[in-house]
Amino acid sequence: MNSKRPVNLDLSTIKFPLPALTSITHRITGVILFIGLIFGFWALDASLSSPEGFEAVRHALDENILAKLIAWGLLSALAFHFVAGIKHLLMDGGIGLELESANRKAQITVVASAVLVVLAGVWVW
Amino acid sequence: MVTNITNFGRSGLSDWLIQRVSAIILALYTIFMVGYLLFHPALDYPTWNGLFAQTWMRIFSLLAFLSLAAHAWIGLWTVITDYIKPTGIRFAVQIVVMLAIFVFLVWGVQVLWGA
């Protein structure tokens, strides 16, 4: 490679194509979901430990605005990670690898997960 | 083939496959749990506890937790090695992630078969 070629590694000046943005969001939501496992396992543990624990989880999800926000946030991250993961599996199957369809699939990923994020919000509230 | 002993399956191809298989198991578990909760809007403790008393549900959950452990490790390993370049810090973060995965796994088994 010609080492005299100009190099720009300043990410803030680069315009990312949509598939790049969905790719990094897939990674970010994955990290968020990992941290969110604390809440998921807590809720599962408490809800199965006793009737009081079950009511505590139910009460938190019914009344506590912070718990609702966390639940919605994690469900949203899960929705995006899920949809983007399906996209990955399709691409592994050789479906839609051309530039045109790659953009289209990234758009579908964004729209589909946006719909799921709204539905998750409706569910939580 | 490039091998790197710090990843999960000791080869990229193996990691790739494990990541896909675990993803499908986790997707099925997610669909099941979301579907179950949607179809039981007035869920009570006996019903919920009864679900997790079933052997098939415990095995399904254990399979999901094991998939989660593998999936999280491969995913986070990829992210960590991509963004954290200093070896010492990367190593430390990887150990923290590994311990966290272990804790989640033990916690999950305890919830399923616990006292």
Instruction: Please check whether residue B21 lies inside any domain of the structure.
Output: yes
Structural domains in chain A (count): 1
Instruction: Please check whether residue A52 lies inside any domain of the structure.
Output: yes
| Closest alpha carbon to B22 in B38, B37, B8, B3 | B8
What confidence tens digit (pLDDT) does each residue in A15-45 have? 888 989 999 999 999 999 999 999 999 999 9
For A54, left (φ over 0), alpha (ψ -120 to 50), or beta? alpha
Instruction: Note the pLDDT of residue A99.
Output: 75
Instruction: Please check whether residue B3 lies inside any domain of the structure.
Output: no
Decide if B104 and A37 are in contact by the 8 Å CB cutoff.
yes
Instruction: Note the pLDDT of residue A10.
Output: 79
Instruction: Please check whether residue B6 lies inside any domain of the structure.
Output: no
Residue of B nearest to A122 (CA): B38
Instruction: Note the pLDDT of residue B3.
Output: 52
Pick from A9, A31, A37, A76 the residue to mutate for testing the B interface (most B CBs within 10 Å): A37
Q: Which among B24, B38, B72 has the least Cβ separation from residue A34?
A: B72
What confidence tens digit (pLDDT) does each residue in B43-65 have? 999 999 999 999 999 999 999 99
Decide if A48 and B68 are in contact by the 8 Å CB cutoff.
no
Decide if B111 and A41 are in contact by the 8 Å CB cutoff.
yes
Contact in structure between B73 and B8 (CB atoms under 8 Å): yes
Q: Model's pTM, two decimal places? A: 0.89
CATH of the domain at A106: 1.20.1300.10
CA angle centred on B99, ends B28 and B77, rounded to 5°: 65
CA–CA separation, B22 vs B17, rounded Å?
9
Residue of A nearest to B72 (CA): A34
Instruction: Note the pLDDT of residue B22.
Output: 96
Structural domains in chain B (count): 1
Distances, alpha carbon B113 to alpha carbons A3, A53, B32, B36, B49, in Å: 60, 17, 20, 21, 12
Instruction: Please check whether residue B4 lies inside any domain of the structure.
Output: no
Instruction: Note the pLDDT of residue A95.
Output: 81
Q: Which among B24, B48, B107 has the least Cβ separation from residue A54?
A: B48
Instruction: Please check whether residue A8 lies inside any domain of the structure.
Output: no
Higher pLDDT, A3 or B73: B73
Interchain contact A89–B (C-beta under 8 A): yes
Written in H, E and C, the secondary structure of chain B is CCCCCCCCCCCHHHHHHHHHHHHHHHHHHHHHHHHHHHHCCCCCHHHHHHHHHCHHHHHHHHHHHHHHHHHHHHHHHHHHHHHCCCHHHHHHHHHHHHHHHHHHHHHHHHHHHCC
Instruction: Note the pLDDT of residue B6.
Output: 60
Instruction: Please check whether residue A95 lies inside any domain of the structure.
Output: yes
Amino acid at A119: L
Instruction: Please check whether residue B5 lies inside any domain of the structure.
Output: no
Length of chain B: 115
Instruction: Please check whether residue A12 lies inside any domain of the structure.
Output: no
* B40 marked as part of a ligand binding site: no
Higher pLDDT, B79 or A11: B79
Chain A / chain B CB contacts < 8 angstroms: 50
Instruction: Please check whether residue A5 lies inside any domain of the structure.
Output: no
Question: Which helix or strand (DSSP H or E) is residue A67 part of?
Answer: helix A65-92
Instruction: Please check whether residue A9 lies inside any domain of the structure.
Output: no
Its domain, for residue A114, covers 18-124
Pick from B111, B112, B113 the residue to mutate for testing the A interface (most A CBs within 10 Å): B111
Instruction: Please check whether residue B26 lies inside any domain of the structure.
Output: yes
CATH of the domain at B98: 1.20.1300.10
Q: Which among A48, A50, A89 has the least Cβ separation from residue B52?
A: A48
Its domain, for residue B28, covers 12-113
Cα of A109 to nearest chain B Cα, Å: 16
Instruction: Note the pLDDT of residue A56.
Output: 95
Q: What is the mean pLDDT of residues B56-83?
A: 95
What confidence tens digit (pLDDT) does each residue in B1-38 have? 555 556 666 678 888 999 999 999 999 999 999 999 99
pLDDT along chain A (125 residues), means of 10: 73 84 94 97 96 95 94 96 94 80 88 93 89
